Amino acid sequence: MGVQVGFVGTRFSGTDGVSLESAKWARVLWDHRHVSHWYSGLSDRDESTSMVVPHAYFGHPDIEWINRRVFGTRTRTPDVTQRIYAMADYLKGTLYEFTRRYSLDLLIVQNALCIPMNIPLGVALAHFIAETGFPTIAHHHDFYWERDRFSVSAVTDLLWMAFPPALPQIQNVTINSFAQEDLAHRRGVSSTLVPNVLDFDTEPEPPDDYARQFRLDIGLSDDDILFLQPTRVVPRKGIEHAIALVSALKDSRCKLVISHASGDEGHEYLVALQELAESQGVDLRLCDTHVGDKRAVGDDGRRIYTLADAYSQADFITYPSIYEGFGNALLEAFYYRKPVLVNRYSIFVADIEPKGAKVITMDGYLTKDVVNKVQRIIDDPNYRQQMVDFNYEIGKAFFSYSVLRRKLRALITNFTGQENL
């Protein structure tokens, strides 16, 4: 018997980690006849199985009004409290409607009970689960205590109550071992560790003629060496290290290409990177206008490529992040069989490095030894091939859909009492 599953989040749209991982969960569940439905404030999922409630989106003006008044200050006014609870009450009603409309058996809450981007939604979920005892898996990608912007708040009482709530009907899922330990230490709440995954059981498609146009469209020739930085342009990605690497290689064929835009944290960092690249003689190219969710042709006739297309044409991946919740780009480098430079961020050290993957690592700064190792990868195709093939097998063993399937089976069996995944 299939289980009717309801995913709940602030948005299921675009290429953010939560949207991508929830789609992977839904796909693994679908393989076993479990049907997924979607509740969010912003959605690109199938309309027939989705319920869109605008106030569930963290970008809704009413939610932004609350956030402006509760973070960066220690006290809140009575009207803020009243609006939070009034909106939570309204959202709770929509959750009752969602579970009734699709005759749901199980909720999977995606990040809405750990990061307070939408406080009324978190409160609504806590109240709904407490009132109904509804079987719930809470999938936590980021906790508020991991983010500086939530460290001073006027809603400590609500954060303790709902982010996440310590309710017996909730099975908590964390994506890395630090988050798992933190949750236990801070809340006395146990959780199951489920890493982010990719479909390593299915090899990526070899690049086709369309993908091979990517280099041409961003102005690179066939003999250029494409260093791909497959992230948004935000300071925690440490992109200055990628510039330093390309500069140190002293090879005019080396070009640094960034796949994503600067996102929601301002453009000062991008300007600083462009100035740094210029001063160090590095050819830095932003190709966010060429990379989208799916292949398309823009209004101006420009071809839009997927991130998979960009990976297929890259020679080397730079991933010098200072902080990551998990590190999907690292798994993608393994999946597309590309050599990668990693700054040893804490989750990599705890959860990925011990698995034995062969990557070039740096510890917060670039050394001559690191540059020499990258040079060897460029010069020695056999060495490079052995390295990337080995990493693919590591991904298959520890970060594949079969790992996710095993974990989800255990979680659902805890509720249903029967193995049905």
Compute CA distances 138 → 6, 265, 300, 348, whole Å.
12, 27, 43, 23
Tell me the C-alpha distance between 277 and 282, whole Å. Answer: 5
**pLDDT attached to residue 258:** 96
**pLDDT attached to residue 294:** 87
Q: For the chain (length 421 residues), average pLDDT per consecutive 10?
A: 92 86 93 90 94 97 98 97 98 98 97 97 98 98 93 97 96 96 96 96 95 95 96 93 97 96 78 96 94 87 93 97 91 98 95 95 96 97 97 97 94 82 53
Q: At 170, is the secondary structure helix, strand, or coil?
A: strand
Q: Which residue has the tokens 């297929």?
A: 312
Q: At 29, is the secondary structure helix, strand, or coil?
A: helix
Tell me the C-alpha distance between 233 and 259, whole Å. Answer: 9
Q: Which amino acid is at 161?
A: M
Classify residue 369 by burial, with Cβ atoms within 10 Å: 0-12, 13-18, 19+.
exposed
Tokens of 260: 């994503």
- Cis, bond preceding 164 (omega within 30 deg of 0): yes
Q: Please tell us whether the domain made up of 4-197+401-416 is placed in CATH 3.40.50.2000.
A: yes
**pLDDT attached to residue 265:** 63
Q: Which residue has the tokens 């260093």?
A: 227
With beta carbons less than 8 A apart as the criterion, state whether 291 and 298 touch.
no
**pLDDT attached to residue 263:** 65
Residues whose CB falls within 8 Å of the CB of residue 415, separated by 6 or more in sequence, listed in order: 105, 106, 135, 171
Apex CA 201: angle with CA 195 and CA 203, to 5°? Answer: 115
**pLDDT attached to residue 32:** 74
With beta carbons less than 8 A apart as the criterion, state whether 370 and 341 touch.
yes
SS3 content of the chain, % helix, strand, coil (to 5): 45, 15, 35
With beta carbons less than 8 A apart as the criterion, state whether 108 and 148 touch.
no
Tokens of 43: 């959605």
Q: Which CATH superfamily is domain 209-398 in?
A: Glycogen Phosphorylase B; (3.40.50.2000)
Q: Examine domains 4-197+401-416 and 209-398 and report if their fold is the same.
A: yes
Domain boundaries, the chain: 4-197+401-416, 209-398
Beta strands 50-52 and 35-40: pairing type? parallel
Q: Using alpha carbons, select from 140, 92, 83, 90 the residue that is nearest to residue 116.
A: 140
